[in-house]
Every structure is written in structure tokens, then in C-alpha cells.
Amino acid sequence: MAEIHDLSAVALRDALRSGELSARQAAEHFLDRITGQNPHLGAFITITADKALSDADAADSRFASRPRSGRCESLPPLHGMPVAFKDLTDVAGVITTHGSAAIEHRPAAADGTLAATLKAAGVVSLGKTQVPEFGLTAYSENRIAPPSRNPWALSRSSGGSSGGSAAAVAAGLLPFAPGSDGGGFIRIPAAACGLVGLKPGRGLIPSGESTGDPARLVVAGPLARSAADAALMLDALVPPGTAAGPPTGTAAGTATPRPESYLRLAAQEPPRLRIGISLDSPWQAVFPFTPEPEALDALRAGVALLEAAGHETGEARIRYDNRYAAAFTTAWTAGVGSARILPHREALLTPLTRTFRQRARQRGPARLAEALAFLRQFERDTVAQFSAWDLILTPSLAQTPRPVGWFTGGAHGDGYWPAAERTTDADEDYRKQCEFAPWSSPVNVCGLPAISIPVHWTGGAPGTGLPMGIQLVGPLGSEALLLQVAGQLGF
């Protein structure tokens, strides 16, 4: 057998369900890798080794006591699979830091919805992964732990807000991981770390991970090394009978129950598709940007792969309302404005969080209601324009993965610069993020599924240089179709 961490998540699942590997063997292997690599990678904030091994032993006991008839059928679908949760997710008995020094760090009394769902599916949690403060940013750096670094270049960021989880999967510290995405925060770190990252459509997964999300931007989804591995996790995340929008493999239709198996569907060929290519972004009116050559190289690589697979591509001209940036920012920062933070601890917030919190508290409910009404109209207008195509194609990122500390004004290199020592103000930080990932947040506003696929490496060959990806956006209910296309392209 290959090294355990070299197995795909699907292959590891099969080995655990067949008894070829025990849950304890898998947990010990990944915990050993975390112990060896996390000090320089910064992927984990908390490692729960004792609890993980206890849970793995319990999984092995369930395996040993299963009925002899129907061996695997009696096991949960992700029996013994090691995972970790973003440190925004409550896991019973484990501290949830939310990446912030400004709140008290107490163990969670119960599992959050996402953790409860995956634990019921049989996973073994190894710990909590690095996040930005309150999950607000496209990089995973905060004031409580070293930054999450990119396994392909440790001087670079792994992205955010699911940056610790993405770094852990890319480095082989986990077979796959759940992330959450409110503004691109599965797709951004997936692109930065060379992974497949799927943001499901609004309402498909009852993640319950985000309070203070009035625009319903946040959804949970998988970070994985392949479309098949992402589909395996999606099967565990989506409750049976969930309405999944248009029928799988089509671009239009009425709501239907979720497919019996995303994993099975992901292995099928997609139909021939019309795919619209766009570099338009609603951020351009406020933050004019020019995609770096590497982003355009990734787009060209994606177009070539899609056309070689038989799909038709063409330019999609999307018109966006210039009021988007202000409305999105109002909705995105509403939650931090209402967060319970003691006055004497406000100074412990990062500059960006503190600034956004102050502005959110000054706006008032009328401004928020106005922004939400605009975003609902933006959703209707944008979805109508996207509907001229089966899928919309953009680069995942407009720039290569940024150096650690770059967004907040830290020096470049391999060191760690505490946020308190950085000089860039909040508005400059935010501008940089919007120019880095200008095609991400509109998909959240529209509630549509989207996937990032790692089609290009700046060194010319897979695993060389830095990864760059493409984003494919589909209509409501097209999660299986997006996974099919990713698998068709070899990912």
C-alpha cells in the first residue's frame, strides 16, 4: 500500500471500511505528520490528539462489532476518516478561538451543525485549523497563532478564510477537509494551494456556521485533492431529500431531491456545455485591477482543457451595478458589528476588524436593509445574465498567492510578523483583498455553486512553482455538474 497520506480520500475510505487500515492507524499517521510539519506550516491552531485517538478507538470498536452480514453497510459513510475543522466551527470540548485575541477562549459546550453532521458520518476530528479573525479575510493570519503558510512556498499565504484547512490538505496532513465560504473562502485557498474547492449553492447544506450573516452568504463545502474526493465529502454534508435546484447535468429546470450519490455522478461524463468566459467584476468600479499574467495563463489553460473536452467557449459580457462594493461590504461586515466583545478588549482586534466593527455599528439597521435589498436585485440581474450560458468561467484569482504579511504591510520573506507590528490600514488591506480575488464574492451574493480547479502551475509542470486555478460558476443545483467537469479535466 502507498503511504497513507498519499491515498486519495476515496481510497482511504475504502481501506478503512474494508479493515485494511484501522481508524487508529490513520489517525496516528496524520497526527505524526501534523506534529512534524505544523510548526513551519501553521495550518493548525489546536491539535486534539488524545481525543482523536479515543474517537478512532471507538470507531475501530464499532468496526469489530459490526454484523457479519452487510459488513460495510452498517458503518457510517466516512467511518474513521480523519478531518479537522476551521477554528470558526464549534467542536464539543474544544476551544473555538474565531482567530481572535479579543474574545474569551472557552471550550464549546456542543458541536456546531457542521461538526455534528460530519461526526454523524463517522469522521475523527484531529483539531482546529488556522483562520483569520472572525473569518473576515482572504488570508489566514491573526494575533493568536502563527500564520497559515502555503505548502508550495512557505513564504506565501495559503489564502483564507479556510487557509489552514487548505494548507493541511495540500501538505498531506489531512485527506480532505470541510471549509466555509462567505466571499470566496473555500475557492481562494483552494486556488492558492492547488486543490479542488467546491462552494455549494445557497441552502443545500445546513452548515449553521455563521451568525450575523443577513445576506446569507456563507455555505460549507469541501476542500480536496480531486473532484471525487470533494464529492465524497459532499455526500456526507448534504442531507438526503435536500432540494438541489435544477436536475443534475442540466443548466435549467425545477428543484429536485439531492442525487443519490455525488461521488457516483462525479465519475460520469458531463454533457457538452456552452461556457462563457468573463473577466468582468463588480469590484472594478471601486478598485480597478489588472489580472497578473499568471492568472491569464491559468484562464487560457482552462479554456484549452475545456475545448479539448468538447465544450464550446465564448466571451460573456457581464454588466454589474457600480453600487455593489458598498452594499457587499455593508452586508459582509454586519456580523462583526454585532459580535459580543467587551469594551476593554476592543484594542485586541486587528486593525481591519476594529475598523469594520466601528463602521458597522455606526450604519444602523436602515443602511443594512438598503444594502440587502440592493444585493437581492443584484442577484436577480446577475443570475439572469449568467443564464445565457451553461457555466461561467473566470480565473480563480487575479494574482499569484501573496507573500505572508503582504495584505497587512508586513515584510516579505520567511519570518512571522505579528499583526500588531504591521502598518497597512484597514482600507488598504481590504483593497488588496478585493483586487486579489475580484470574482469570488458575487457568486456568494447570487447563491450559486462554484468550483475552483487547479489547472496551471507557474513553474510549467504540476507541483512546480505556484498553483493557479480557474473558477466555474453554475446555476442552482449544478454541484454534480461542476464536479463532473473537474473530473473530466483530470482533477
Q: How many CB atoms lie within 10 A of CB 309?
A: 15
pLDDT score for 211: 60
In this prediction, residue 254 carries a pLDDT of: 44
Is residue 108 within 8 A of residue 100, CB to CB? The reply is no
Instruction: List the grid coordinates of 394.
Output: 473566470
Q: Are 368 and 326 in contact (CB under 8 A)?
A: no
Q: Please give the Cα distance from 172 to 165 (Å, whole number).
A: 11
The C-alpha cell 471507538 sits at 58
- SS3 annotation, 192-238: HHCCEEEECCCCCCCCCCCCCCCCCCCEEEEEECCHHHHHHHHHHHC
Q: How far apart are CA 448 and CA 300, in angstroms?
A: 24
Q: At what angle do helices 23-41 and 9-18 cross, to 10 degrees?
A: 150
Residue numbers of the chain with a pLDDT score lower than 50: 246-255, 411-417, 420-421
C-alpha cell at 37: 510539519
In whole angstroms, what separates CA 333 from the centre of its chain?
A: 19
Helix (H) or strand (E) run with residue 156 in it: strand 153-157
Spatial separation of the C-alpha atoms in residues 469 and 397, rounded to whole Å: 7
99 within 8 A of 133, measured Cβ to Cβ: yes
Q: 85-105 b/e with 16+ CB inside 10 Å = b?
A: bbbbbbbeebbbbbbbbbbee
C-beta separation of 149 from 44 below 8 A: no
Instruction: Give the whole-angstrom CA distance, residue 18 versus residue 277.
Output: 44
CA gap 297, 300 in Å, rounded: 5
Q: Please report where in the chains the cell 454585532 appears, as a residue.
A: 338
Amino acid sitting at position 346: E
pLDDT at 260: 79
**Closest listed residue to residue 185, CA positions, set 366, 384, 450, 486:** 450
User: How large is the angle between the packed helices 163-170 and 23-41, nearest 10 degrees?
Assistant: 110
- pLDDT of the residue at 413: 41
Q: 276: which 3 cell numbers?
A: 462563457
Q: How far is it, in rounded angstroms, from Cα 482 to Cα 227?
A: 9
- The model's pTM is 0.94
Domains within the chain, CATH numbers bracketed: 9-488 (3.90.1300.10)
Alpha-carbon distance of 459 to 56, in angstroms, equals 40
Residues 6+ apart with CB under 8 A from 57: 23, 24
